[in-house]
Amino acid sequence: MSQNMIPEMSSSMETMLEKWKDFEGQEIDVHKEFGLVTTEVISRTAFGSSYVEGKHIFEMVARLTAITVRNVYKLRFPGISLILKTKDEIEAEKLEKAIKKSILDIVKSRKVNMDEGVDEFESDYLGQLVKMANESNESKRITVEQMIDELKAVYGAGHLTTTSLLSWTVFLLAINQEWQDKFSCSEYESVRLLSADEHGDQ
């Protein structure tokens, strides 16, 4: 992970926590909130300056993942999908095409910028994948399909698992006062050290 993405991540978390202050004394669906913030963080990390488009892509990937999970145990006769498609199959195909088109549009935009000398492919995750797709060594080059699969994997590994991890962490802290106290002490120390580093860099 590039160090320059840390401020972006911190900013997203701070925005979420500030929003929570408006709900003091009320219940908050933390799993949903963590899902939103991890989507934003991963979108910024993976797509950088193309963050808005990236967020839309991840939303489509989320819908596609939900469809896949919903149908994973449903039995279909081989070849029947060629004749008769279900509503979910039709929606999944539309999402696959839309995801591919959106990613290709971003890639084309970056190639134009690079040709005009505005910037390179950029240092975010998508930029690294684009570089690999344009690798002069054919044995190291990846296809567009592989690029799309990588971004889907980032969503699955980065978004879903991190959301669940954060949700369980908050739940376990909520039912254990001793852990809360220990966490508060360690959090204070971390903030103090981070603050000292930031002032030292100035």
Q: Output the average pLDDT for the chain.
A: 78
In tens, the pLDDT along 19-67 reads 888 888 888 898 888 888 888 888 887 777 677 888 888 888 888 888 8
Total-model pTM: 0.65
Neighbours of 33 (CB within 10 A): 19
Q: Dihedral of CA 171/172/175/181: which sign?
A: negative
Q: Is 158 domain-assigned?
A: yes
Q: What is the pLDDT of residue 98?
A: 92
Q: At residue 121, does pLDDT exceed 50?
A: yes
Q: Is 153 domain-assigned?
A: yes
Q: Is 188 domain-assigned?
A: no
User: Coil, strand or helix: which one is 134?
Assistant: coil
Q: Is 74 domain-assigned?
A: yes
The Cβ-side half-sphere exposure at 52, using a 13 Å CA radius, reads 0
71's tokens: 């149908």
Q: Is 189 domain-assigned?
A: no
What is the domain-level CATH number for residue 89?
1.10.630.10
174's tokens: 């909520």
Q: Which residues contact 28 (CB under 8 A, 6 or more apart)?
A: 20
| pLDDT tier at 80, thresholds 50, 70, 90 | low
Range of the domain at 25: 3-176
Q: Is 89 domain-assigned?
A: yes
Q: What is the pLDDT of residue 5?
A: 66
